[in-house]
Structure 1
Amino acid sequence: MKKLSGLLSAALLGGLAVSFQLCAAVGGYPVVLVHGLQPEQLASRPNASEVSSDGAAYWQAYWRDRADVRIDWPAHERVAGKIASDYVWPRLQQMSRNGTCANGCIFVTHSTGDLVTRYLIDNQALWLQNAGLQPLNIVATFDFAGAGGGSELADLAVNIASGSGLIDWTLRLAIAAWLGEIPNAGNVGVLNDLRVNSARQLAAFPDSRVPRLRFVGAGSDYLGATGPFLPGTDDGVVASHSACGAATAGSFGSCSVNVAFDGKLASQSDGVRNFMPYHYPLLMSKGYSHGGVIGNQAQDEITAANSSASYLNNDRLQFNTYDETRGWWIFSSRYRVVRNSNNTSMSALVYQAAN
């Protein structure tokens, strides 16, 4: 399905978070991981070595050993600040010098990693050219539970930390479930960037045409505690407007106007119709939580908002789906299912399809 690229040469940068593994590629393309928010770092303010070990642990369930490079970053910093200058920029230089993306590479992101990667995509070519280096050839991103549209939970957490938000026990429960504690003004870090308006203004219209391929769940790890504070359908951390890549924040029930999260084929009046530039939703599932989408356990059947999408170089990611009738007589409905999704995790389905 995809032409093979040359494998990257192995290299290591002492003390900082980078990982190289021979033959760890998707369809011949080297894989670069960009993780999401790690709440415990807001207060712990980890050093570079701790950022690296946290990054390795973040992806261990599935993607860590299937990737060539990791870009790890600390939650107590800001995206356009030290995350970019001290963690992203050194990695971009290294990948350029090593020719990691010379024949194309794929970024795999989760949660806030979606936002970090959008800022990276918007700036990497200019940064590298100004340094006399070759820009990266990123052919696509695989964005799991993307928080590029921000999270209303971040707005609430920052308001509480600054003392400008009223807090009742339900809100306290929701924020504590998500972050592990109630933040204070000194440890909000990247939560500032995750506020919905802030996130949507950060590199909102990148010049790059890199396709952002979206994989979305609608379950929750928090027993529904966070859902009341997120509009529309959510995965416990981000609402569908963010994970699907909707052009505007809003209350959406699906990434598609024709397919529900559970695969039912029917008009979705609250489905997303307009998307951010080059954002394309593919897989959806009612039962996958925010963290479950990058795990190695099947959590529910998976459907497809779209069964395929093209990379920047016109190679294609394609999923095998089938439609079936469920129910009886006039009470029956048609459902779309990704083949083998009842016993294969979402991440594994993406990896298998890409290879």
Structure 2
Amino acid sequence: MKTLTMLFTLLFVSTGCYAAIAGKPVILVHGFQFTDLQNTPPNEAFLLQQSRNYFSDYWTSRADEHHYYSSADRVSGGVKDQFKRHFERLEASGLCIQGCVWVTHSTGDLVLRDALNRLGQWGIDRNRVKVLAVIDFAGAGGGTELADLAANVASGGGFVDFTIRQVVRAFLGVDPSSSGLGVVNDLRPTNARRIAQGNQGVPRLRFVGTGSEFAGITKPFIQGEDDSVVPLHSACGSNRKGDYNSCSSGIRNNGVLRSARAPSALLANHFPVLIGERVNHSQHINNDRVGGVYAPIINNVSANGLVIDFAESTGRRWWSWGARVRSVDNSNRKSMSANVYDTLNN
């Protein structure tokens, strides 16, 4: 047991300390990893390296720690147990006494939300682990209809044609089996929306895209606009499912200031900040410059010391048919992650 504890400690502190955003340490939480469904049970070293690889294109070099887990587990099972160990080590290390910022992608939104809801029952001292804010890229806290599709294919229920199987393979990366879906079961919208819905007192800053991936084959199976994996009803932080094409009723995903179908209410302390019309699911956290408009939904505000102050402008564009467009200045010269990091790290 002593040897195992020492291993955990070494893994936890080995990433170094960069004080990456506004002078505060950054902790990364990855999304669904299909390889976990094929490697059961993956060990600690494997999971840590996998998380580093997951964020390697942009965030790993700007972060201090990784909260990793096996996607073969369920949120209320092995994922919960893994996060409990992480927070206990984080408390012991003292890294977050002055506050830390978490950065999540996709499923990371949901699993961290559950973990933060459990800090009290785990006895974590919130004076030693101060959660200043969470930056959620493509947050899947409301689930995705693709998880329903995967569960239906895995169970063999009803007629499953070739196209649907291809869609599920694009989403999962593997052919699903009813006994091996792991956290995908928790990503079914009905299940996801039962998990830790209350106010945790932590600002959840949402960064959203509506780009296309997998040659667009997944989009017809997702409700409303999406990034080819996560629908806006989830990424925006809506308190219910819906057919939405923006996170704000007054601005569209391309920055045009016209009425849009948006959530009428959001989960507590969930704040959509930026939407990128061409950013697909993977591109939220890599360094791809995808072009198009990055539209600020909220701006010039502060969240527990993180100052959101994108340089923006509003005006008519040649393609906007006379409508005014709000966008982040020169945003198409950077990836979404670079736009966020350069702005918040001030």
Q: Same-fold call, TM > 0.5? A: yes
Which one is further off, 316-325 or 231-240?
316-325
Q: Which runs of 5+ in 2 are unaligned?
A: 1-5
Give the letter aligned to residue 176 of structure 1: R
CA distance in 2, matches of 1:96, 1:186: 35
Partner of 1:76: 72
CA distance in 1, matches of 2:301, 2:272: 9
Deviating above 6 A after TM superposition, structure 1's stretches of 4 or more consecutive aligned residues are: none
User: 1:349: Cα distance to partner?
Assistant: 1.0
Partner of 1:114: 109
Corresponding residue SS for 2:80: helix
Superposition pairs for residues 131-210 of structure 1, below 5 Å?
Answer: 134=127, 136-206=129-199, 208-210=200-202
1:261 correspondence with 2:253: yes
Structure 1 residues 29 and 15, CA gap change in structure 2 (3 angstroms): closer
Identity of aligned residues (%): 39
CA distance in 1, matches of 2:208, 2:126: 35
CA distance in 2, matches of 1:77, 1:251: 30
Give the letter aligned to residue 243 of structure 2: S
Measured against aligned partners, the alpha-carbon deviations of 1:117-143 in whole angstroms (never above 9, x if no partner) come to 1011111133134xx785521111000
Corresponding residue SS for 1:261: coil
CA distance in 1, matches of 2:323, 2:186: 42
Give the letter aligned to residue 106 of structure 1: V
1:336 correspondence with 2:326: yes
Structure 1 residues 14 and 92, CA gap change in structure 2 (3 angstroms): closer
**TM-score, structure 1 as length reference:** 0.90
User: 1:113: Cα distance to partner?
Assistant: 0.1
Partner of 1:50: 46
User: 1:342: Cα distance to partner?
Assistant: 1.3
Structure 1 residues 125 and 353, CA gap change in structure 2 (3 angstroms): farther
Give the letter aligned to residue 223 of structure 1: A
Q: Which runs of 5+ in 1 are unaligned?
A: 1-10
User: 1:23: Cα distance to partner?
Assistant: 2.7
Partner of 2:341: 351
RMSD of equivalent CA atoms: 2.0
Partner of 2:222: 230
CA distance in 1, matches of 2:7, 2:275: 36
Partner of 1:8: none
1:246 aligned residue (238, 258, 268): 238
CA distance in 2, matches of 1:264, 1:133: 42
Structure 1 residues 51 and 177, CA gap change in structure 2 (3 angstroms): same
Partner of 1:103: 98
Measured against aligned partners, the alpha-carbon deviations of 1:103-126 in whole angstroms (never above 9, x if no partner) come to 111100000000011011111133
Give the letter aligned to residue 110 of structure 2: L
User: 1:15: Cα distance to partner?
Assistant: 7.0
Superposition pairs for residues 16-27 of structure 1, below 5 Å?
Answer: 16=11, 19-27=14-22
Asked whether the equivalents of residues 233 and 240 of structure 2 are also in contact (C-alpha less than 8 Å), the reply is: yes
Partner of 2:265: 274
